């Protein structure tokens, strides 16, 4: 599989998936220049968008200026003006040789979607390695449900997050769950990749289920950490998630 994380801005990734002929699928192009540099004159099969934030859609107009016939698949949201097809939860699309399904994962934004298929999960800003997105428009209940939906996808896809946040998230995850050997192994792997100048992504859903505290709100150690933070016993896993997300919002390593 020819999958490539293209750096953009300070810590974004634009994901490119190429077929055998070199044509690509482009996911969340916040800026056009690195995509144009990677693809040269070859038009992409399609552009997939996960949500409306400019660092995920800002490059679309320039890409369409170069390749006006390129289809753009996006969620139902008027804040994404250049979509050629709007998708809802469960809609499937065929782009080039690949088939993907849109999954509604509200929380970071109200209309956020993820794209799942071909052993891949393009999850935008919903799930990060060792972390998750901030709640800009949704509720803790929505985000926890969205993360659990992703955590229980059946084919353990590679997780293609849209930001290089792994090591920044690691400090918080260790504070919550310091005795987790899977977490320490993942941090060691991420440090090695970073030291070699390589992305820490994609990660695997299997790894995230083992070491991402936001996916493990039923785990006794994670619940105990949330209880210590809140000074009370969490009511349930959603309450544990809400405590963790609020804690992470103000956490400084």
Q: Active-site residue numbers?
A: 51, 53, 55-56, 108, 125, 163
Question: Is-contact 180 211, C-beta < 8 A?
Answer: yes
Is the Cα torsion angle 124, 120, 168, 237 positive or negative in sign?
A: positive
Q: Tell me the C-alpha distance between 250 and 234, whole Å.
A: 19
Question: Is-contact 135 126, C-beta < 8 A?
Answer: no
Q: What is the dihedral of CA 80, 21, 67, 87, to 10 degrees?
A: -20
Pair of tokens at residue 104: 């509604």
CA angle 95, 156, 179 (to 5 degrees): 140
Q: Tell me the C-alpha distance between 140 and 148, whole Å.
A: 12
Pair of tokens at residue 114: 């993820």
For the chain, the straight-line distance linking the first and the last C-alpha, in angstroms and rounded, comes to 36
Q: Are strands 92-95 and 98-104 parallel, antiparallel or unpaired?
A: antiparallel
Residue with tokens 């997105």: 133
Task: Give the strands of the sheet with 85-87, arranged side by side.
Answer: 2-8, 12-18, 24-27, 46-48, 72-75, 85-87
Phi, psi of 2 (to 5 degrees): -95, 85
């Amino acid at each position: 599989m020819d999958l490539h994380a293209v750096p953009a801005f300070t810590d974004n990734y634009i994901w490119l998936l190429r077929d055998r002929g070199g044509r690509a699928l482009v996911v969340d192009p916040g800026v056009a220049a690195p995509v144009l540099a990677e693809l040269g004159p070859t038009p992409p099969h399609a552009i997939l968008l996960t949500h409306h934030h400019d660092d995920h859609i800002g490059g679309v107009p320039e890409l369409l200026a170069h390749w006006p016939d390129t289809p753009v698949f996006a969620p139902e949201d008027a804040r994404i003006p250049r979509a050629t097809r709007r998708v809802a939860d469960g809609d499937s699309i065929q782009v080039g040789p690949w088939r993907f399904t849109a999954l509604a994962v509200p929380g970071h934004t109200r209309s956020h979607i993820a794209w799942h298929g071909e052993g891949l999960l393009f999850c935008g800003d919903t799930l990060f390695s060792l972390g998750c997105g901030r709640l800009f428009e949704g509720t803790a209940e929505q985000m926890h449900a969205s993360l659990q939906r992703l955590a229980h996808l059946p084919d353990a896809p590679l997780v293609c997050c849209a930001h290089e946040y792994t090591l920044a998230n690691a400090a918080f995850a260790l504070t919550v769950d310091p005795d987790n050997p899977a977490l320490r192994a993942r941090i060691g792997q991420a440090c090695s990749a970073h030291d070699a100048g390589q992305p820490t992504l994609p990660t695997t859903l299997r790894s995230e289920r083992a070491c991402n505290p936001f996916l493990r709100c039923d785990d006794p150690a994670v619940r105990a950490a949330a209880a210590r933070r809140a000074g009370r016993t969490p009511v349930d896993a959603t309450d544990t998630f809400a405590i963790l997300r609020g804690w992470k919002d103000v956490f400084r390593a």
